[in-house]
């Protein structure tokens, strides 16, 4: 089985071309094996690409633990770049079918811009176990500590927490405790941020089903939306992650969130299952 390894700001994926839409349950164990960094190829997730009728192609994503995720900004940038480079007839603007619907991707020589859609802000739809129109500056208690969070869904749930210094915050302690908190029925991605100016945010992320990663595209989108809701930033800002920077814009006219950043090839190979 041939594969391609790619990354978006260090958030890395294994991409596989399939002749038809996959049965995701059958890929759970394969995803775990392939993504293992010691006994497999090593990646944060497995991306399956396949032909569809209503878009240029379809994609589905499995996390490193074998669970299926609805959305991943870095993965869709990688998928767009992969398809464009591998298909001589590909257009610079592509439509990709995902679990949350069709998404538009525009490619330049150096970067990929993705329309990530309109953020979901209602508590029960994110989902967060709070029946609120907007989940902004809500408190949560974990192991005797209280945090204040804003919740946003970009097709997948994100919990944004401002801390004094995101660079040194012990994410490995609090990330897993917050991910699995009872307030989040589908678990959640947890973003710890420090707002440095109206156009500059530092972010670290604990991803649901993966752990700490170097970048999270949908998380960066959620961070920008949360920061705007809290009156801290403009509607366009640079999000600094461990793996590099993304430019995020929340267009106030159409309410769509746009993410721009790189997608990089690493290597190709053939997987021989044991």
Binding-site residue set for substrate: 11, 63, 73-74, 156, 189, 207-208, 217-218
Query: Which residue among 35, 72, 113, 221 is the active-site one?
Result: 72
Q: Crossing angle for the helix pair 73-86 and 217-229, nearest 10 degrees?
A: 130
**Tokens matching residue 148:** 């204040």
Rg value, the chain, Cα: 18
**Is 72 assigned a catalytic role?**
yes
Buried b vs exposed e over 105-131: b needs ≥16 C-beta within 10 Å? bbbeeeebbbbbbebbbbbeebbbeee
Q: Is the peptide bond before 150 cis (omega within 30 degrees of 0)?
A: no
**Is 216 assigned a catalytic role?**
yes
For residues 203 and 263, what is the distance between their CA atoms, to the nearest angstrom? 19
**Residue tagged 């949560």 (tokens):** 140
Query: Which residue among 35, 78, 113, 216 is the active-site one?
Result: 216
Binding region = 11, 63, 73-74, 156, 189, 207-208, 217-218
Q: Which of 203, 184, 205 is nearest to 194 (CA)?
A: 203
**Degrees to nearest 5, angle at CA 216 with 252 and 171:** 115
Q: Is 9 left (phi over 0), alpha (psi -120 to 50) or beta?
A: left
Q: Which of 156, 159, 186, 195 is nearest to 174 (CA)?
A: 159
Give the residue numbers annotated as catalytic, written as ranges. Answer: 72, 216
């Amino acid at each position: 089985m041939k594969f391609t390894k790619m990354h978006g700001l260090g958030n890395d994926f294994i991409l596989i071309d399939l002749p038809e839409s996959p049965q995701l349950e059958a890929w759970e164990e394969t995803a775990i094996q392939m993504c293992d960094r010691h006994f497999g190829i090593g990646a944060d997730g497995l991306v399956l690409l396949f032909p569809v009728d209503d878009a240029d192609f379809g994609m589905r994503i499995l996390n490193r633990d074998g669970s299926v995720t609805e959305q991943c900004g870095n993965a869709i940038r990688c998928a767009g770049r992969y398809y464009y480079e591998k298909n001589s007839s590909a257009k610079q603007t592509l439509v990709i079918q995902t679990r949350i619907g069709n998404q538009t991707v525009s490619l330049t020589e150096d970067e990929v811009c993705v329309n990530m859609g309109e953020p979901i802000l209602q508590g029960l739809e994110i989902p967060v176990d709070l029946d609120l129109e907007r989940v902004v500056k809500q408190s949560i208690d974990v192991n005797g500590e209280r945090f204040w969070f804003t919740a946003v869904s970009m097709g997948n749930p994100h919990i944004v927490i401002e801390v004094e210094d995101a660079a040194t915050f012990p994410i490995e302690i609090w990330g897993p405790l917050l991910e699995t908190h009872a307030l989040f029925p589908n678990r959640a991605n947890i973003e710890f941020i420090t707002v440095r100016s109206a156009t500059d945010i530092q972010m670290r992320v604990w991803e649901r089903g993966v752990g700490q990663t170097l970048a999270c595209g949908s998380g960066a989108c959620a961070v920008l939306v949360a920061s705007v809701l809290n009156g801290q930033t403009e509607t366009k800002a640079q999000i600094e992650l461990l793996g590099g920077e993304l430019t995020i814009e929340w267009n106030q006219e159409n309410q769509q969130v746009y993410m721009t950043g790189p997608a990089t090839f690493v290597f190709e190979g053939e997987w021989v299952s044991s």
